[in-house]
Amino acid sequence: MKKHLTVALALLAVLGLGAGLLPRPALANGAASTRNILLGIGAATYLIIQHNRVVHQREAAAAAQQAAIAQQRNDAWAAYRAAERSAHQEALANAELHKELAYEKSVVTQQQRQLAALHIGANFTHVVATSNARGAHGTPQVVASDGLGWGTL
């Protein structure tokens, strides 16, 4: 743009100096006046067009900057909302995990009570069935067991 403006101003200066320095007889038909008016109108039109182009470029740059800022703001809100939803879902998942842990703890406690009621010894043999026949010490004879260890030797 500056290049065109410089060329236009140089052209106007050359025409203005050239027209003013050379002595000429006055023209009665007005051709020089018409030429100068047309050149002036052309130069003014060119300058106005260039000025409008620069103004439109600035306005477009400002609009693009505002659009980018608005997009960043929208992206930030979207990220905030996504983080908020994620935190809510995480809180729900944590609540479900707490419920599951409480249930598992109650099951473990119940199983510990059941094991304590069975009086399982160190050999971890659980008597499944006994016979009515009495052994050497008057205790029922073990017919089946689900021993988890070596049992009694």
pLDDT in tens, 22-75: 566 655 567 778 888 999 999 999 999 999 999 999 999 999 999 999 999 999
Q: For residue 68, is it within any domain?
A: yes
The three-class DSSP label of residue 60 is: helix
Q: For residue 107, is it within any domain?
A: no
Q: For residue 60, is it within any domain?
A: yes
Is 129 found in the same domain as 88?
Answer: no
Is 90 found in the same domain as 45?
Answer: yes
CA nearest neighbour of 35 among 9, 13, 15: 15
Q: For residue 22, is it within any domain?
A: no
Q: In terms of residue numbers, what domain contains 149?
A: 121-153
Is 125 found in the same domain as 80?
Answer: no
User: How confident is the model at residue 153, as a pLDDT?
Assistant: 47
Segment 67-116, tens digit of pLDDT:
999 999 999 999 999 999 999 999 999 999 999 999 999 999 998 888 88
Q: For residue 2, is it within any domain?
A: no
Q: Is the pLDDT of residue 149 over 90?
A: no
User: How confident is the model at residue 104, as a pLDDT?
Assistant: 94
Q: pLDDT higher for 121 or 9? A: 9
User: How confident is the model at residue 3, as a pLDDT?
Assistant: 79
Q: For residue 31, is it within any domain?
A: no
Is 91 found in the same domain as 43?
Answer: yes
User: What's the rounded Cα separation, in Å, for the pair 57 and 66?
Assistant: 14
Place of tokens 């500056």: 2
Q: For residue 11, is it within any domain?
A: no
Q: For residue 89, is it within any domain?
A: yes
Is 86 found in the same domain as 45?
Answer: yes
Concatenating the DSSP letter of every residue in 76-142 gives HHHHHHHHHHHHHHHHHHHHHHHHHHHHHHHHHHHHHHHHHHHT--TT---EEEEEEEE-TTSPEEE
Domain count, the chain: 2
Is 125 found in the same domain as 91?
Answer: no
CA nearest neighbour of 139 among 148, 128, 131: 131
48, 80, 95 — which closes off a domain? 95
Is 130 found in the same domain as 87?
Answer: no
User: Which amino acid appears at position 77 of this protein?
Assistant: W
User: How confident is the model at residue 118, as a pLDDT?
Assistant: 77
